[in-house]
Amino acid sequence: MTMWVFGYGSLLWNPGFEVAEMRVATLEGYARSFCMSSIHHRGTVERPGLVLALDEGPGACRGMAMRVAPGQEEPTLSYLRERELISSAYLEKTLHVSFQVGGTAQALVYVIDPHHVQYCGGLPLEEQAQIIAHAVGDRGANTEYLYNTADHLHEIGLHDPDLDWLAERVRALTA
């Protein structure tokens, strides 16, 4: 059985599993947003950072659909659950994605639970920048997460104006 995973943040530049194929894809009804407080990977309980999540609502998110290497479906699912469900702030869903070129697929997607304590949707961009500029977690600086994601989106020809603004503002704050 073919398994697709939709990446929109760190999975783009650090999937952590064997990818057989990558295609630019769109997920309707969700937006990429720094709407999850990070108390593990990019912040701490005392000084939370912010990580991207898919927030349900109007619009769409362009990202990358990654086809898991044949025979690696079960190990990949186990790995992703350990990585993404660390605090239960994400919900694991299988959703319909449309490829930029050639068709559609069902993909494994991690979206934010808007009822979880780590949900912080709607923060103004300046507040997001202030948080990201200073937070550090067990996987490193929150700035690294932002820069890697924004840079990788550009590398694959996808542009996110909010991420571009945040990257520029955070660079200015940390200069």
Tokens coding 109: 């997607």
In the set 56, 82, 84, 144, the catalytic residue is 84
Q: Are 142 and 131 in contact (CB under 8 A)?
A: yes
- Is 82 part of the annotated catalytic residue set? no
Contacts of residues 77-80 at CB distance under 8 Å and 24 or more positions apart, as own/partner, are: 77/3, 77/108, 79/16, 79/17, 80/5, 80/16, 80/17, 80/108, 80/110
Task: In whole angstroms, give the CA distance from residue 142 to residue 148.
Answer: 10
Task: In whole angstroms, give the CA distance from residue 24 to residue 67.
Answer: 11
Cα dihedral 139/7/120/141 (nearest 10): 20
Residues carrying an active site annotation: 84
